[in-house]
Amino acid sequence: MTPAATPAIDPAPLPDKGDRVMLDGLPGGPWTSVVVGVAEGVLLVDAPRLGGRLVPLPLGRRFVLAYSSREVPCEVDAEMVAGPTADGRGGYTARLLGAARRLQRRGAVRVPVHLIVQASLAADDEDAPVGAVTENLSAGGVLLRVAKALEAGAPVTTSVFCGGDAGTLDIGGRVVRCDRLSGERPFRVAIAFLDMPRGDEDRLVRFVFERQREMPRRGAGAV
C-alpha cells in the first residue's frame, strides 16, 4: 500500500511595501518598522527611530520579522545584511531565510490578556471612570468586562494599563456593542479604537505582537 503523500504547507504571504512590521530578536527590540521596498529574497525596511534618532542595528544578526497578513499574525526568519548610509539615509536590508509562516488564525488575532482598564465616557464628565478588566486586546480594539452598561455608539476614552515598556495608553474609541452576561462584572463591552496617535499605536502594536509570540510557547508547556 502506497503511503499517502503529506500535504504541502502553504507558506504565508510576505508583507508588501507600506506594511508595518516588527523586528524581533535584535538588541533593544522588538522594533517597529515599515516595509519600504520588496525584492527577490529581501525586504528593505525603514530604519527604526528612538526619540527621533536612528536606531543602530547590528549587521549579520539573525532575527524574526513579524507582521500581520489579512489580520493573521505571520513571521519569517531573516538576517540584517545592510544598513543606512553614514549620513543616516536609507533603511535596512533584511535577507529572508526560508518561507514565511502563519502563527494563528483570525479568531486568535485578538490576544487574550487580563489587564486593568478605566473607561471614561465623553458624556459623563461628572462621573468617575468605569473600572474594567480586558478579556482580549488587539491593535484595533478591546473587549472588556464591566459592572456598568455602556451604550453602543457612545464615544469613550479607554486607559489601558499594559505595564512594562508600553506603560499606560489612553486611547479614544467608540462602544461597538454591550452584552449582559453574569458575574461580578455582568457586562461585556466591545470597543473599537479610533484616531490613535502614531506613538501610542506603535506601543500597542509592539505589546500585542509580544503577547502573540508568547502564546505558542505557553501553549507548548500546557498539559
Write the DSSP assignment of 3-65 as a string of letters. PPPPPPP-PPPPPPTT-EEEEESSTT--EEEEEEEEETTEEEEPPPEETTEEPP--TT-EEEE
Torsion sign (Cα): 206, 209, 211, 217: negative
Torsion sign (Cα): 189, 166, 140, 14: negative
Give the per-residue pLDDT at 42.
93
Give the per-residue pLDDT at 127.
61
Q: Which of 154, 112, 97 is nearest to 130 (CA)?
A: 154
Interatomic CA distance for residues 144 and 119, integer angstroms: 9
Interatomic CA distance for residues 168 and 204, integer angstroms: 10
Burial (CB < 10 A; 0-12, 13-18, 19+), residue 189, is: buried
The distance in angstroms from the start CA to the end CA of the chain is 36
Give the per-residue pLDDT at 95.
94
Q: How many CA atoms lie within 13 A of 144 on its CB side?
A: 30
Class of CATH domain 111-220: mainly beta
| Domain limits, CATH 2.30.110, in the chain | 20-108
Quick check: helix, strand or coil at residue 103?
coil
- Kindly list the averaged pLDDT for each block of 10 residues, start to end, along the chain of length 223: 45 86 81 89 90 86 84 83 82 92 56 87 67 87 90 90 87 90 87 85 82 58 35
Within 10 A of 58 (CB to CB), how many other CB atoms are there? 10
Contact 120, 156 (CB under 8 A): yes
Question: In the CATH scheme, what architecture does the domain 20-108 have?
Answer: Roll (2.30)
Which residues are bridge partners to 143 per DSSP? 136, 190
* Residue 110 in grid coordinates: 485578538
Give the per-residue pLDDT at 10.
61
Q: How many CA atoms lie within 13 A of 126 on its CB side?
A: 0
